[in-house]
């Protein structure tokens, strides 16, 4: 029997997706509007975030390419045979399965939808040079357009359904935070506290979303020197009295990331640490008070910079003060056009979802050494902003 290069595998029934079919149809309509405006006849999307956003399918690459091909009248996920019928069941459109029998079958499956010599859109911030060359060799596009900036802009403004899911994620993060706080005591390892938070969140997600796939929820819980970076991994260090702690809960619901981050101390708090912590809390509250439609990201950044500079602390700032939320994780996605940094002039508008998360890192050997960070998620409204994070912050609440 001849082995196929690719084939349709509609195995079982379509599964419930995170959003309605109408939601995905509206997103695809937005993409096709972008394509029409730039003369694009066919879009070949390859990133986890865009494929999930437009189709509902969140792939696991494991070294294999995946795609979503969109034309004026078709949307087709291109997935690897190792996934069986799951890509078709978990997408809001059609799907093709490519086989491993020979190299290039992924592109042959793509080509079956795109055709050749057409104006093609792709993601310039995701497609590798090797993949781009393979695409050019297969499809011989007449011209190409980088769709990454436009699709990012579409994703930046969340629908009502997305905002509801993100609110649920923030509530799950609060539950993870409480589970971690309860587990904190002298002698306990970072990993044990982290596991308590992760387990609580995964159980809560399964309770709230019984039809979802459960994957990727994680925790970073850091202590002492390990708090100096926002993304430092969990270790086996045992907590000691007087330690600065950093609690970071990250529930993942159908590819949608939410976060809770808090500074804590165990047992006691010295005066130098209190002063730094309280200053960072003030910066946090100032930033949240500035969130409203029409203000530029760079304007918010400048005001917080001025505040920290006036207290002689700006040099200890580690990164930007916040970022967009949606289909992203620590290994896929980023709506870089909506970040609170000096070089981002995007104006906030209703429907955007953005964090406020100032961090100060005081080097080891100095009074108050450690990393101080608070993190709340806000939804921009017509009048201002809705804070959807409920876990308390500051010295009055988080000296354990």
The residues carrying an active-site annotation are 231
Contacts of 222 (CB under 8 A, 6+ apart): 190, 232, 234, 235, 245, 246, 248, 371
- How far apart CA 295 and CA 310 sit, in angstroms, is 22
Sheet of strand 376-380: strand arrangement: 353-356, 376-380, 385-387
Q: What is the 3-state secondary structure (H, E, C) of 161-182?
A: HHHHHHHHHHHHHHHHHHHHHH
Under DSSP, the state recorded for 231 is T
As a whole number of angstroms, the distance between CA 257 and CA 165 comes to 10
CA–CA distance, 344 with 295 (Å, rounded to integer): 11
User: From the centroid of its chain, how far is CA 382?
Assistant: 24
CA dist 8 and 6 (Å) reads 7
**CA distances from residue 344 to 65, 150, 253, 298, 364 in whole angstroms, order as listed:** 32, 16, 28, 6, 32
Round to whole Å and give the CA distance between 78 and 93: 11
- The set of long-range contacts for 362-368, using a CB threshold of 8 Å and a minimum separation of 24, is 362/276, 362/316, 363/228, 364/225, 364/228, 367/270, 367/272, 367/273, 368/270, 368/272, 368/273, 368/275, 368/276, 368/277
273: left (phi over 0), alpha (psi -120 to 50) or beta: alpha
Q: How far is CA 49 from CA 188, 195, 208, 317, 335, in A?
A: 37, 27, 23, 29, 10
Question: Can you list the alpha helix ranges (DSSP code H) found in 187-331?
Answer: 190-208, 271-290, 297-310
Pairing of strands 119-122, 143-146: parallel
b/e burial code for range 334-353 (CB count within 10 A of at least 16 → b): bbbebbbbeebebebeebbb
């Amino acid at each position: 029997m001849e082995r196929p290069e690719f084939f349709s595998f509609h195995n079982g029934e379509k599964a419930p997706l995170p959003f309605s079919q109408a939601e995905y149809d509206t997103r695809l309509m937005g993409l096709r509007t972008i394509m029409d405006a730039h003369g694009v006849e066919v879009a070949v999307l390859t990133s986890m975030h865009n494929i999930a956003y437009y189709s509902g399918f969140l792939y696991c690459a494991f070294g294999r390419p995946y795609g979503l091909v969109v034309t004026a009248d078709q949307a087709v996920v291109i997935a690897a045979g190792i996934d069986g019928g799951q890509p078709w069941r978990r997408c809001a459109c059609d799907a093709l399965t490519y086989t491993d029998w020979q190299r290039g079958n992924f592109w042959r499956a793509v080509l079956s939808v795109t055709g050749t010599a057409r104006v093609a859109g792709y993601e310039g911030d995701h497609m590798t040079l090797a993949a781009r060359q393979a695409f050019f060799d297969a499809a011989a596009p007449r011209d190409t357009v980088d769709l990454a900036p436009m699709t990012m802009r579409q994703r930046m403004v969340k629908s009502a359904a997305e905002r509801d899911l993100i609110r649920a994620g923030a509530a799950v993060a609060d539950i993870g935070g409480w589970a971690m706080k309860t587990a904190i005591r002298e002698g306990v390892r970072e990993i044990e506290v982290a596991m308590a938070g992760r387990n609580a969140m995964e159980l809560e997600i399964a309770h709230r979303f019984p039809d979802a796939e459960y994957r990727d929820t994680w925790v970073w819980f850091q202590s002492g020197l390990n708090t100096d970076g926002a993304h430092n991994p969990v270790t086996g260090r045992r907590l000691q009295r007087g330690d600065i702690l950093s609690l970071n809960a990250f529930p993942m619901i159908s590819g949608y990331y939410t976060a809770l981050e808090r500074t804590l101390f165990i047992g006691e708090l010295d005066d130098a640490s209190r002063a730094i912590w309280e200053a960072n809390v003030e910066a946090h509250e100032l930033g949240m008070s500035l969130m409203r439609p029409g203000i530029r990201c760079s304007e918010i950044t400048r005001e917080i910079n001025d505040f920290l500079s006036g207290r002689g602390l700006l040099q200890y700032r580690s990164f930007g003060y916040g970022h967009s939320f949606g289909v992203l994780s620590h290994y896929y996605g980023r709506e870089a056009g909506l970040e609170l940094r000096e070089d981002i002039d995007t104006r906030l508008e209703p429907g955007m979802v953005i964090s406020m998360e100032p961090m100060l890192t005081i080097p080891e050997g100095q009074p108050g050494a450690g990393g101080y960070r608070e993190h709340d998620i806000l939804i921009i409204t017509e009048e201002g902003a809705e804070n959807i994070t409920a876990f308390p912050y500051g010295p009055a609440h988080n000296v354990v």
